[in-house]
Structure 1
Amino acid sequence: MNSRSRWLMISVGLGILLNPLNSSMISVAIARLQHVYSIDFTAVSWIVFSFYIASAIAQPVMGKASDLFGRRKIFLAGLVVSLVSSILAPFSPNFGWLIVFRIVQSIGTSMLIAVGTAIVRIHITEKQSDALAGLSIFLSGAAAIGPFAGGVLIQWWDWPAIFIVNTPFVVASFILAWKMIPNDEPAATVSRDMSFRKLLGVIDVPGILLFAVGLIALLVGLLAAKSSGHFSMWNIVVVLIGLVAVGIFVRHELKTVSPFIPLRTFAKYPGMTWVNIQYLLVNFLYYSLFFGIPSYLQMVRHVSEFQTGILMLTLGLSSIAASPIAGKWVGKSGPRPALIVSSLLMVVGAVWIVTWTQSSPVISVCLALAAFGFSNGLNAVGMQAALFKSSPKEIAGVASGLFNTSRYLGTILSSLLTGIIMGGAFTFTGFRLLGVFLTVIALVLVFISLRLRYSEQLDEPSTSNSNKK
């Protein structure tokens, strides 16, 4: 990788780390925000869920926008939106306004993460696996140190610091991106003299609205049921509205000339569909542990918050250490071997958790965290490479956005699973049952990894047929 490519990767990395950093730092601020705004735990938990929901919707939308209007413009705009929301959030007069700024922050950081990987794919053509490993270090590192950094910031200053800390990353990324990201022209389907009505058709506003309504209704209905502990008639109605909206969305996308999500292209490239399913399951398992193990340590083992944060660093540091190894391995052998080993490590880690007792030695916890961390590092590089190999370049933005939406859907499902299993209180029995469920998911991932074959020719749909084997 030459010097220009390296600086391009760094400019993108400093931007895309904002999304995982802000999604993980907030976890240690929940108790503080609950006290500051005098609200209950159910209400304050929407500071987390609103970010996930907005990210799940915004990332494919921004990916589509980048394919149409230019990736450089969307990336720089995302940095500006992220900066403004991070500066305004600490001045929120009430919790409702904090949620609004949090959603805006999610949209801004989603613009970066949806477009960033597409920029790397388009402009770094040599040693892409090394570039993916570099991006993985930014993403994994931000997610890993988020809770620890958030705890330090809140202890030394207060909760506004977890928003203000974004400023140096945004400024550095903007300066580098302005210089390093090449200008790109809007798509041929977009012209300056195009009427507003035709522009709305090219963007596919109806498709975006149907997608947003369907996903929001489904997630709000499920998350509200999780918060209340049961399905009410209101929850069922909202979920049904979501299902109907998704059905209409699919019908609309199959008929429209310029679809927001090209479903017919997914039919041509089935490997891309399987990669998204695989990524959803990976994050389903990973985030069940990311939030479940700290609760086990604190509520079952009665380990302090600080010691829990230190132990959880094992997960992040193992992931960071695995990323450059994964980059070399994927560059040499393709994504499949790394993803198979990653899935096997998940099986070992999940089975290991089932064998824990209420007094298992700390080294046992650390070894399990290391196994999952190393697995996550392999996945971060291998899954991105698999996406590149199974999707055409002309929809790089929307493919990247949908890929990251799969991540957030997995995250949300992990929260739902944990809530259903634990009920009103976190227990050791529930944690062990969670380990059983995660073992099953890990075995499914092994099966998928063994069965999939990733296309080497991105622009020839016929080659993707091998993905079905």
Structure 2
Amino acid sequence: MSVRTAPPPGRFDRRLLAPMILGSILNPINSSIIAVALVPIAVAFGAPASETAWLVSALYVATAIGQPLVGRLVDVFGPRRLFLAGTLLTGVAGLIGALAPSIAVLVVARIVLGFGTCSGYPASMVLIRREAERTGQASPAGVLTALAVATQTVAVVGPTLGGLLVDLGGWRATFAVNVPLAVAGVLLGLLVLPKDEAVPEAGRRFLHLDWAGVALFAGVLVALLLFLMDPHVETVWLLGAAVVAAAAFAWRELRARDPFIDVRVFAGDRALLATYARSLLAATVSYGYLYGFTQWLEDGRGLTASAAGLVLLSTFVVGLLVSITTGRRPQVWPKLLVGGVVQVVVSAALLLVTGASPIWFLVAVAAVLGVPQGMLNLANQNALYFQADPDRVGASAGLLRTFMYLGAIVSSSASAGFFGQRADTGGLHELAVFMLVACVLLVVLVLADRRLRLIGRPEPEPA
């Protein structure tokens, strides 16, 4: 089934945008849409909050593991095949969740969702790379901006969409919505995406992938994420297990003929490692604000959920405008520096917030945070595009998402630790100090990496 015609010569094939954007938003929409469904799910099954929390954690863990794995599969077998398989799996997961008879089955559905939604972003990055090579465009900044704006928009409006779905069809609608999205994705993929080249001995290559490396990498992330989600003295052994698994993973990858993650490349490519570190730090601050500040608005400031959502709306609006305004400029260093400095300003401003702070001040703080929201993710994505090995851009893009989710887990754990039973003003100030340390480190990393200034700079004219 294909009605695809020859793409326009010399120009990016804009027909690819629809499936690329749809595939890329499946993960962030399922990450955020569940927030408003947790309480109705708990009521429906008579489950405590400790059980429904696994619906959030399950997706994070599956995504953190699945992004680089599926990205590597994209590199080996092609973006179209993995896009279709992942989108189909997303639909199956939505159906499982919509019909689930228990919390345990819902957790399974979220795990399947995590893996199914992993294919869209790395597949899109590989397609962008191929289109750039075909058209001779060194920097398809407009396309990268479209992806960043779409995922950022969906992540912010996800809870609002979730609330609408719960009102219309109950909590099961937040799972069932994946079915029509998956159908649309499969149809677009079949009609629009270019066919992948034949893979000689595909079955043999699949079986001979570095599955031992995948298993060890999964062990590292599962142990680390489980510790971060519940950091106590009793769970320190999980941190030790993560260290042991990490050492075993490095030993294995250094000896593998075709490693899952080529640690030699990372050892010699400090620029790419710095991009991952910046992504983790930026996400730590961003999600710390989204989780912590939002909770404080309701508990510490006494706003309703809808009023808190209106305060946060300014973050989305400013972030969207900043992304659109600066997105077509391929330079990443100015965006990273400005974004990091503004994060420092916002984190410091949170130290001035009290339960009596006027609404206009809270809206102003939220609006200012929209500046780094619109710059940092896009800049790190563009940096990776230029830094990654073209043969492993799918796996590298998947790892970028993994580090973002690590930042989300770190910030979520920090919020829980600082707030305790209620999100009071004292806890918010402690969280602000934690965020301040993270964004200062981000600025230091940006200033220390001089090579960032070369990315996107126009080539000098030949003499």
| TM-score > 0.5, shorter chain as reference | yes
C-alpha spacing 1:423/1:245, structure 2 compared with 1 (3 Å): same
SS of 2:356 mapped into structure 1: coil
Letter in 2 for 1:321: L
SS of 1:360 mapped into structure 2: coil
Q: 2:154 is matched with which residue: 142, 147, 163?
A: 142
Is 1:409–2:416 an aligned residue pair? no
Q: d(CA) in 1 for partners of 2:185 and 2:89? A: 13
SS of 2:328 mapped into structure 1: helix
TM-superposed CA distance for 1:441, in Å, is: 1.4
Q: 1:450 is matched with which residue: 429, 447, 451?
A: 447
TM-superposed CA distance for 1:181, in Å, is: 2.0
SS of 2:118 mapped into structure 1: helix
TM-superposed CA distance for 1:25, in Å, is: 0.9
2:301 and 2:355 in contact (8 A); partners too: yes
1:318 and 1:370 in contact (8 A); partners too: yes
2:228 and 2:410 in contact (8 A); partners too: no
1:141-197 deviation line (CA, Å, top 9, x unaligned): 1001011111122123211111222334333333222233222326xxx63287x4x
C-alpha spacing 1:431/1:175, structure 2 compared with 1 (3 Å): same
SS of 1:45 mapped into structure 2: helix
Q: d(CA) in 1 for partners of 2:454 and 2:72? A: 23
TM-score (normalizing by structure 1)? 0.90
TM-superposed CA distance for 1:328, in Å, is: 2.3
Q: Which moved more, 1:66-75 or 1:365-374?
A: 365-374
1:301 and 1:358 in contact (8 A); partners too: yes
Q: d(CA) in 2 for partners of 1:206 and 1:39? A: 36
TM-superposed CA distance for 1:43, in Å, is: 1.5
C-alpha spacing 1:165/1:314, structure 2 compared with 1 (3 Å): farther
Q: d(CA) in 2 for partners of 1:71 and 1:269? A: 25
Q: 1:46 is matched with which residue: 42, 45, 54?
A: 54
Letter in 1 for 2:255: K
1:8-64 deviation line (CA, Å, top 9, x unaligned): 122200111111111011111111111111111111111101110110000000011
Cross-structure match for 1:68: 76
Q: d(CA) in 1 for partners of 2:343 and 2:115? A: 31
Is 1:200–2:207 an aligned residue pair? yes
C-alpha spacing 1:4/1:129, structure 2 compared with 1 (3 Å): closer
C-alpha spacing 1:292/1:44, structure 2 compared with 1 (3 Å): same
TM-superposed CA distance for 1:351, in Å, is: 1.1
Q: d(CA) in 2 for partners of 1:455 and 1:253? A: 28
2:219 and 2:242 in contact (8 A); partners too: yes
Cross-structure match for 1:288: 288
TM-superposed CA distance for 1:222, in Å, is: 3.3
1:394-429 deviation line (CA, Å, top 9, x unaligned): 110110011110011110011111122223332210
Q: 1:104 is matched with which residue: 93, 104, 112?
A: 112
Length, aligned pairs only: 443
Cross-structure match for 2:126: 118
Letter in 2 for 1:355: L
Cross-structure match for 1:316: 316
Q: d(CA) in 2 for partners of 1:327 and 1:28? A: 31
C-alpha spacing 1:454/1:182, structure 2 compared with 1 (3 Å): farther
Letter in 2 for 1:185: E
1:269 and 1:391 in contact (8 A); partners too: no
Q: d(CA) in 1 for partners of 2:85 and 2:93? A: 12
1:141 and 1:317 in contact (8 A); partners too: no
SS of 2:450 mapped into structure 1: coil
Q: 1:14 is matched with which residue: 18, 22, 28?
A: 22
Letter in 2 for 1:450: L
SS of 1:29 mapped into structure 2: helix
Q: 1:210 is matched with which residue: 213, 216, 221?
A: 216
Q: d(CA) in 1 for partners of 2:352 and 2:13? A: 46
- The unaligned stretches of length 5 or more in structure 1 are 459-469
TM-superposed CA distance for 1:457, in Å, is: 9.3
C-alpha spacing 1:359/1:147, structure 2 compared with 1 (3 Å): same
Letter in 1 for 2:282: V
Q: d(CA) in 2 for partners of 1:380 and 1:397? A: 17
TM-score (normalizing by structure 2)? 0.91
Q: d(CA) in 2 for partners of 1:310 and 1:55? A: 29
Q: 1:170 is matched with which residue: 177, 182, 188?
A: 182
Q: d(CA) in 1 for partners of 2:373 and 2:424? A: 26
Q: d(CA) in 1 for partners of 2:282 and 2:449? A: 15
Cross-structure match for 1:248: 248
Cross-structure match for 2:458: none
SS of 2:195 mapped into structure 1: coil
Q: d(CA) in 2 for partners of 1:264 and 1:452? A: 20
Cross-structure match for 2:459: none
1:369-413 deviation line (CA, Å, top 9, x unaligned): 122222111112211111112112111011001111001111001
TM-superposed CA distance for 1:359, in Å, is: 1.3
1:17 and 1:139 in contact (8 A); partners too: yes
Q: Percent identity among equivalent residues? A: 29
Is 1:346–2:358 an aligned residue pair? no
Q: How does 1:219-234 map to 2 (within 5 A)?
A: 219-223=225-229, 225-226=230-231, 230-232=232-234
Cross-structure match for 1:151: 163
C-alpha spacing 1:457/1:64, structure 2 compared with 1 (3 Å): farther
Runs of at least 4 residues of structure 1 off by over 4 A?
Answer: 1-4, 455-458
Q: d(CA) in 2 for partners of 1:433 and 1:238? A: 25
SS of 2:129 mapped into structure 1: helix
Q: 1:433 is matched with which residue: 424, 430, 434?
A: 430
1:154 and 1:162 in contact (8 A); partners too: yes
